[in-house]
Amino acid sequence: MVMPSMKKFRCYLCVALLMLFAPVLQGQSRDAVDTALVSKFRKEGLKNSKVMEILSMLTDVNGPRLTNSPGYKNAANYAKSALESWGVGNVHFDSFGPFGRGWFIKKFSLQVMAPVYFSVIGYPKAWSPGVKGTHKTEAIYLDVKSEEDLEKYKGKLKGKIVLFDFPIMPKPAFKPDATRLTDSTLLKMANAAASSRSGGSRRRFAAGAPEMLTYKKWRLCESEGALAVLEGSRGSYGTFYASAATVPTDPTASGARIGAQAANAPEILPQIVVAAEHYNRLVRQLQQGLTVKLELAMETEFTKAEDGFNVIGEIPGTDKKEEVVMFGAHLDSWHSGTGTTDNAVGVAICMEAMRLLKVAGVQPSRTIRIGLWGGEEQGLLGSTAYVKKHLGERVADSVKLTMEGEKFSVYFNTDNGGGRWRGVYLQGNENVRPVFREWLKPFEKDGTSTLSLSNTGSTDHIPFDNVGLPGFQFITDPIEYFARSWHSSMDMYERAVEADLKQNAVMLATFAIGAANREGLMPRK
């Protein structure tokens, strides 16, 4: 055997090494970030951003956005018009099926007239009926700890405003309200193992003695003819949290519970949530034997029951237009604030990302689609119905995808507040780690580099994940999200962090175009 020359041997070796590492190099280049395009996104998104303008329209002008309310419909019409004006195609309202009645407040005031005047901080619960005219009446505290205690209130509640709950004492604020994720927290997230479940369901808990006693308290108030019910709220410094009105239901009864928005919901009492400090003051006055007189004006209006709907739009793809990359956020909110951090910021980021993609003149290989969801606060209704209608569904332990679902690539969700994105929850999908690592490179210097195998639940990526499609939520600095803003009366425009929203929109546009132009669909679990 004749040995090759050293020069030829080196050539053979180089060729062999290139062949060995070709798949790795090819994979790296396939998902490499288009830095010139990211620069375009940054220039437009940081210098000429519309994200705060969009946010103000969603909150100051069209908020709050309770599902099927006039505010929701106005916000949806605004979003549709804005997307169309930027050149986004096929913008339409997509029904997610029967939802129920719309509802809004026309007038509300609650004042203490005696023993000393003050204006009560509070708000009606969603889908609560109102009262006709202005009523001046006494307050009564329903101090019930057992069924036997119910007897002493019979014959005493008619026409009265009932304080239904025990006082809730706010705790001193020893921790800062506004926080960013620390390096140590991000490290723990990066090292976390995958969870065993997606964590997306909103659970009903088994009935017990406390639930039954609460049900009987409601029945007492109704049967005795109370005028309205006040409930104390968690929160501090006058901030309160108002959600849906309670439809008293026997906790031992079988079958689905009827929501207050349902067309067939029974008549219920007017219900008002009151800030803890004011609620507690009223209780203390009553416990001291004082007569507390209130003046209530509460005018609400229901609209007809109809289907709920999402807002959908897209930038059509070129050679792979049947395959879809999608991102979205829930458009609906609760009603005592303007729903800024939950979740107008998410909608504004998504809309701004679509604008950045259009301004940059991208022609994606795959279609890039935006989804603005309704009914998220009532149980992920809009996104769940969209997935079932268009992509597939899970039956027991098996998943059946539609043809559209088979060609679906990835969904990115934006929720969890108005802070800066620090990375991505991988939802247990280790296969996407190298892809996301490439796409995060332009943002590492901004503190955004964490990839966590752990799951996060209870928002609109879960329906996608539940049918085996890649669905992801971004790791977000909490800022004031859980402390002051989430679902609260003070979830207002001021809670958003402008610089963070601009950065997030640039990052979302980068991820969207990366997924749209990569060679294959995003890896699935």
Domain termination site, one of 270, 302, 334: 302
- Average pLDDT of the chain is 91
Residue 175 lies in a domain: yes
Per the model's pLDDT, the better-predicted residue between 409 and 254 turns out to be 409
Percent with pLDDT over 90 in the chain = 80
Q: How far is the C-alpha of 209 from the C-alpha of 213, rounded, in Å? A: 6
* Domain stops at, among 302, 336, 367: 302
Q: Is the pLDDT of residue 197 over 80?
A: no
Angular region, 216: left φ>0, alpha ψ -120 to 50, beta rest: alpha
Q: Examine residue 162 and state whether it is found in any structural domain, yes or no.
A: yes
pLDDT tens by residue, 426-450: 999 999 999 999 999 999 999 999 9
Report the pLDDT value the prediction gives residue 287, as an integer from 0 to 100. Answer: 97
- Per the structure block, which two tokens stand in for 99? 């939802």
Supply the pLDDT for residue 186: 82
Both 277 and 320 in one domain: the answer is no
Give the three-state DSSP class for 358: helix
Q: What is the pLDDT of residue 189?
A: 79
Q: Are residues 220 and 309 in the same domain?
A: no
pLDDT category at 183 given cuts 50, 70, 90 is: confident
Burial class from Cβ neighbours inside 10 Å (0-12, 13-18, 19+) for residue 51 reads buried
Dihedral sign from CA coordinates of 507, 368, 523, 389: positive
Do 310 and 374 touch, CB atoms closer than 8 A? yes
Are residues 189 and 114 part of one domain? yes
Contact 522, 71 (CB under 8 A): no
**What's residue 202's pLDDT?**
46
User: 3-7, 380-384, 385-389: which has the minimum mean pLDDT?
Assistant: 3-7
507: its two tokens = 């990052």
Q: 499: which 2 tokens?
A: 């610089």
Asked whether residue 434 falls in the same domain as residue 466, the answer is yes
Mean pLDDT of the 307-316 span: 98
DSSP characters over 85-128: HTT-EEEEEEEEEEEEEEEEEEEEEEEEEESS-EE--EEEPBT-
Q: Which of 11-15, 89-93, 288-292, 446-450 has the lowest mean pLDDT?
A: 11-15
Side-chain-facing half-sphere of 85: CA atoms under 13 Å:
8
The domain spanning residue 117 has which CATH number? 3.50.30.30
- Residues 406, 411: Cα–Cα separation, whole Å: 14
Contact 85, 325 (CB under 8 A): no
pLDDT at position 388: 98
Q: How far apart are CA 168 and CA 220, in angstroms?
A: 22
Q: Which residue has the higher pLDDT, 52 or 483?
A: 52
SS3 content of the chain, % helix, strand, coil (to 5): 35, 25, 40
Long-range contacts of 181-188 (CB under 8 A, 24+ apart): 181/422, 181/475, 181/477, 181/478, 186/422, 186/423, 186/450, 186/475
The residue with greater pLDDT, 175 or 425, is 425
Alpha helical stretches, state H, 239-316: 276-287
Say which residues have a Cβ less than 8 Å from residue 5's Cβ, sequence separation at least 6.
none
| Euclidean distance between CA atoms 398 and 390, whole angstroms | 17
Q: How confident is the model at residue 482 (pLDDT cuts 50, 70, 90)?
A: low
Q: Is residue 28 part of a domain?
A: no
Considering only 139-153, 248-262, 280-294, 348-362, which range has the smallest mean pLDDT?
Answer: 248-262
Q: Look at residue 182 in the predicted model and tell me its pLDDT.
A: 86
Shared-domain flag, residues 162 and 43: no
Write down the pTM of the prediction.
0.91
pLDDT tens track for 1-23: 334 454 444 544 444 444 444 44
- The answer on 280 and 290 residing in a single domain is yes
Average pLDDT over residues 368-379: 97
Angle (CA) 390 392 395, round 5°: 145
Check residue 26 and give its pLDDT. Answer: 43
pLDDT tens for 253-278 read 888 889 999 999 999 999 999 999 99
Tens-digit pLDDT profile for residues 447-466? 999 999 988 888 999 999 99
pLDDT tens sequence across 101-129: 999 999 999 999 999 999 999 999 999 99
Give a yes or no: residue 12 inside a domain.
no
* Mean pLDDT computed over 294-321: 98
Q: How far apart are CA 220 and CA 222, in angstroms?
A: 5
Q: What angle do CA 320, 321, 325 make, to 5 degrees?
A: 95
Residue 108 domain flag: yes
Contact of 292 with 110, CB cutoff 8 Å: no
Single-letter amino acid code for the residue at 517: N
Region of poorest pLDDT, from 7-16, 75-84, 195-204: 7-16
Q: Domain count of the chain?
A: 2
Q: Is the pLDDT of residue 193 over 90?
A: no
Number of H helices, E strands in the chain: 14, 16
By C-alpha distance, which of 339, 273, 299, 275 is closest to 124? 273
pLDDT at 458: 87
Residues 6+ apart with CB under 8 A from 194: 426, 428, 430, 453, 454, 455
CA distance 525 to 520: 15
State both tokens at 208. 């017990």
DSSP string, 30-42: HT---HHHHHHHH
Query: What is residue 381's predicted lDDT score, i.e. its pLDDT?
Result: 98
Domain housing 177? 102-195+207-250+257-302
Two structure tokens written together for 103: 């509802």
What residues contact 168, with CB distance under 8 A and at least 6 apart? 232, 233, 234, 276, 279, 280
60 plus 153 within the same structural domain: no
Residue 327 sits in a domain whose CATH number is 3.40.630.10
CA dist., res. 351 & res. 349, Å (int): 6
Phi, psi at 37, each rounded to 5°: -70, -40
The two three-digit tokens of residue 311, written as one number: 């807002």
Residues 250-273, buried b or exposed e (16+ Cβ, 10 A)?
Answer: ebeeeeeeebbbbeebeebbbbbb
Within a domain: 264: yes
Tokens of 343: 């979740």
Beta bridge partners of 450: 423
pLDDT of 480 > 90? The answer is no
What pLDDT, on a 0 to 100 scale, did the predictor assign at position 106? 97
What do you get for the CA distance between the two ends of the chain, in Å?
A: 50
Q: Are residues 378 and 478 in the same domain?
A: yes
Residues 454, 425 share a domain: yes
- Cα 4 from Cα 206, distance rounded (Å): 79
Three-state secondary-structure class, residue 379: coil
Q: Which of 269, 302, 335 is the C-terminal boundary of a domain?
A: 302
> Would you say the C-alpha torsion 308, 335, 92, 462 has a positive or negative sign?
negative
Report pLDDT digits (tens) over 22-39. 444 444 447 899 999 999
Greatest pairwise CA separation for the chain in angstroms: 112
Both 282 and 211 in one domain: the answer is yes
Q: Are residues 113 and 93 in the same domain?
A: no
- Give the model's pLDDT for residue 196: 56
Question: Tokens representing 420?
Answer: 């800066």
Residue 443 within any structural domain of the chain: yes
Higher pLDDT, 45 or 173: 45
The predicted pLDDT at position 203 comes to: 46
In a domain, 231, yes or no: yes
Phi, psi (rounded to 5 degrees) for 206: -65, 145
pLDDT at res. 207: 57
Q: Examine the domain organization and report whether 277 and 419 are in the same domain.
A: no
